[in-house]
Structure 1
Amino acid sequence: MTVLADSDTRWKWGALAARRIAPEARLDGRLLRGRATPTTRQLSELGIAADSLREVTMRQFLAEAEAEAEAEAGARGGHHDAASDPDSGGPGVVLLACVGGTVQAALHGLARVWGQAPRPRPVTVTGYVGVVYEKLADGLLLRHGADVVIANSPQDARRFRDVYEGVGADASCVTEAALPFLDGAPYRGPDAARRFTVVFAAQPSVPASREERTYLLRRAARHAERHPDRDVLVKLRSKPGEHTTHVEEFPLQRLAARLDPPLPPGVRLVYGRMGEVLDRADLLVTVSSTAALEAMHRGMPTAVLTDFGVREALGNHHFTGSGCLASWDELDDGLLPRADADWLRANGVGADDPFRLVRERVEDLAAAGQLPPPRPYYTPRTAPAYLPGVLARHGLDPQGRPVGTAPPAEDGQVRRLTREFTRNAARAAYRHGVQRVAPVIRRLGEL
């Protein structure tokens, strides 16, 4: 199984979903080169083992798929059924764990690679890394064309089918599951052997402004002062300079370093795997992170903050009806919110075997042997003013062909090292521009 991912959170979702679909299968990770390509530290923190893991461009990803398709066609010509042979080398599933436009580009490129007629080929799977709270139609239609579009809850499955059927697109691809990282031991209540621990799950862009993000730190400090018997852990997603799915203009580490007065001893900034942090938590607090769903899955008290309002822009509107909306003031007064059981079921939390339907669909498609090429809803005919721009951002023309010619082969260690140095320097410069220069320019424009 091959997983193409374009950020640390999408690699986490894609790799864990792949493990849920085929626990014993070989896992080959391909990290798409771009703004949010995960660093070695981010990958290490996730701790997801893969049989192979390397960085690629879209051109390289499609070239690899084309080479595998040609090898498989040659094997079939020699009366060898590569589709049913687990040792044939080709992936049985290609899981696209990327932003919608990237998924669309990959599907068009794979459609070209695999030809126009039905043939043995990998099953294509895609979905969302978390809660879908904005751009529902846009994101869904960019993912259309995959054999399986994973919905993370019964509610999402209904919404997804409504969108596809509403535009006349095939909705049979929508398959109900859950977020693959909902696991961990059930919460048993406060442990007398340790201090009561509050975990605030930070997000890179929610809320977005410096003032609002500083407010969160001050409220965490106030909570620790109001409850000297508690530890407050601010769980950070990344270090300054690292990127996740969203850009973090104001890293909490830097804001904390400038606080006056500074954070009290009861508040600590921590990294690490969310599951391991939750193992020692008694209350999870967030604005709208999917960490809330992880805590709810364990039966842990969970608070989704209302301090900035309940708004679509924040994503916390998704949790209306959960019973977990609360403010810092209420938490300071001792509130420990518990999630509503009906809301949990509707939102894909707590199912015994949530990936059963996905496994069954993938197995049925693989057993068919001959599959048509991906047929996305967007084509040069249905979206002539939109699709070309989506594909061009990944170096493809409207037919899914790479634009221009591939760079000549480079021989020798010196050229390879030069290429790697140039690429890394360019990426560092880009990240610096996004995180440091662009905010300053925006602020100057507001003067």
Structure 2
Amino acid sequence: MLADSDTRWKWGALTARRLAPGAHLDGLLLRGRATPTPRQLAEVDADADSLREVTTAEFVRAAAERDPGYDAIVLACVGGAVQSMLHGAAAAQRAAAPGAGPLRRPVMVTGYVGVVYEKLADGLLLRHGADVVLANSPADAARFREVYRGAGADPDGVTECALPFLDGAHEPGVPQPADTGRPFTVVFATQPSVPAGRADRRYLLRRAAEHARAHPDRQVLVKLRSKPGEQTTHIEEQPYQRLARSLPGGLPPNCRLVHGHMGEVLERTDLLVTVSSTAALESLHRGVPTAVLTDLGVREALGNHYFLGSGCLASWDELDAGALPEADGEWCAREGVLPPGGGSTGEWYAHAFDAARARVARLVARSAGAGLPPLAPCYTPRTAPAHLAAVLARYGLDPQGEPLRRSASTARPSALRRALRTTARGAYRHGVQRVAPVVRRLGEL
């Protein structure tokens, strides 16, 4: 499994475990801006049997190896990285086995970490070429196939499953019993880049604090994604930790910032509040009342438009007045949160990966026998020459998928280079989180 951030590591590792229970799982981290820290990996609570950091060149070489090799590879990366790994692996496989005939190669699997609310065509076409493109719901599966057909790309790889981290310690879909030993708990699930602006993020934090003051019998937890200096899939220019220090009056005693595994936090949650986090799907699956905030509007830029029709849209004013949104069952079924037509949620979720598991198993068997056709993404130097060349170059590959001269070496970097890389990452993060916001504010004067 190859991942390029903490959230994608979580999705990729859990997906791999569900597709091949009991298999040996090698965890590979693609070296880059969002490479997670050990603390971030520990927090997502998704283990692999081994773990190492790799470059693009190292990965494509491993993807082409036959002995030892991989039966299947889960590409848990952004779309550009997926496309680059597919082209890089295809080039390496061509070099290892010249000719256009069937190959004994790994089955390539990819998908999305959560809610797909933007860049649908862009992201999907960058993922095309994988043997299996996982869709987290019936609605996503239909949309994915429609995009591929419209672009003249083969939609056969689209396979419906579910998000791999929905299940919890109790029966899914059933509200958790009240725990008289703790106060009513409200969790505000933050996001690194939604909203992005300082004023909007201060507003949301202030409203969470005001909710706590208005309800002293409640506990309000502001669930954070990362610590200052760490990176996730998206850049967080305005960390809530820093905003909390400058909040007038500070946070009341019953409102605090927390980290931790989202599943564990949800086990003690009575109301989940967010703008558009995938945590909303987790809470809905667990039967937790879920509020998708409308204070900043319902806008594509925020991603909360995805929840239109869910019954979850609400404002802080409504929550202050005691509202507990009730989710629409048909919407939840369509979006892969609850089973269609009711029934046992636990039984439905237990079989959510059956089709994907069977497809991967068939392809692995075919690869070991007659072989699989060469990887064939719809983007090629002929169909999208300018776009593909730009995407591949970002990952150190030329338009044919070969490593560029400057990234051809796969030797382990020296201690000096590793130290320089760590320093450069720190400087980049400091610039994003400290310098860039100040320069932006100065530009607005």
The TM-score with structure 1 as length reference comes to 0.92
Alpha carbons 1:378, 1:387 under 8 Å: kept: yes
Is 2:84 the partner of 1:105? yes
CA RMSD, aligned part only? 1.4
Distance apart, 1:416 and its partner CA:
3.2
| 1:257-296 equivalences in 2 (<5 Å) | 257-296=245-284
The letter of the residue matching 1:358 is A
* Unpaired segments ≥5 residues, structure 2: 95-99, 340-347
Distance apart, 1:365 and its partner CA:
1.1
Identity %: 67
* Unpaired segments ≥5 residues, structure 1: 72-88
The letter of the residue matching 2:121 is A
Question: SS at the partner of 2:109?
Answer: strand
Distance apart, 1:436 and its partner CA:
2.0
Question: SS at the partner of 1:303?
Answer: strand
Is 2:231 the partner of 1:252? no
Match of 1:61 in 2: 59
| 1:15-414 equivalences in 2 (<5 Å) | 15-66=13-64, 68-69=65-66, 71=67, 89-115=68-94, 116-184=100-168, 185-186=170-171, 187-351=175-339, 352=348, 353-369=351-367, 370-404=371-405, 406-407=408-409, 409=411
1:389-443 deviations in Å (ceiling 9; x for gaps): 1101111111100010634857xxxx83222212211111122222222233333
Question: SS at the partner of 2:435?
Answer: helix
Question: SS at the partner of 1:103?
Answer: helix
Alpha carbons 1:189, 1:282 under 8 Å: kept: no
- Range with greater deviation from structure 2 (185-194 or 170-179): 185-194
Question: SS at the partner of 1:386?
Answer: helix
Alpha carbons 1:300, 1:338 under 8 Å: kept: no
> What is the CA–CA distance in structure 1 between the aligned matches of 2:411 and 2:211, rounded to whole Å?
59
The letter of the residue matching 2:84 is A
Closer, same or farther in 2 for the Cα pair 1:336/1:408, shift >3 Å?
closer
Distance apart, 1:178 and its partner CA:
1.1
Question: SS at the partner of 1:234?
Answer: strand
Closer, same or farther in 2 for the Cα pair 1:408/1:13, shift >3 Å?
closer
Is 2:10 the partner of 1:12? yes
Distance apart, 1:57 and its partner CA:
0.9
Match of 1:85 in 2: none
1:10-45 deviations in Å (ceiling 9; x for gaps): 101111111111121111111111110001110111
The TM-score with structure 2 as length reference comes to 0.92
> What is the CA–CA distance in structure 2 between the aligned matches of 1:408 and 1:37, rounded to whole Å?
18
Alpha carbons 2:9, 2:76 under 8 Å: kept: yes
Alpha carbons 2:57, 2:410 under 8 Å: kept: no
The letter of the residue matching 1:177 is C
Q: 4+ residue stretches of structure 1 with deviation over 4 A? A: none
> What is the CA–CA distance in structure 1 between the aligned matches of 2:411 and 2:82, rounded to whole Å?
28
Distance apart, 1:376 and its partner CA:
0.4
The letter of the residue matching 1:29 is G
Question: SS at the partner of 2:386?
Answer: coil
Closer, same or farther in 2 for the Cα pair 1:132/1:409, shift >3 Å?
closer
> What is the CA–CA distance in structure 2 between the aligned matches of 1:363 and 1:121, rounded to whole Å?
13
Alpha carbons 1:299, 1:338 under 8 Å: kept: no
Question: SS at the partner of 1:96?
Answer: strand
Closer, same or farther in 2 for the Cα pair 1:388/1:141, shift >3 Å?
same
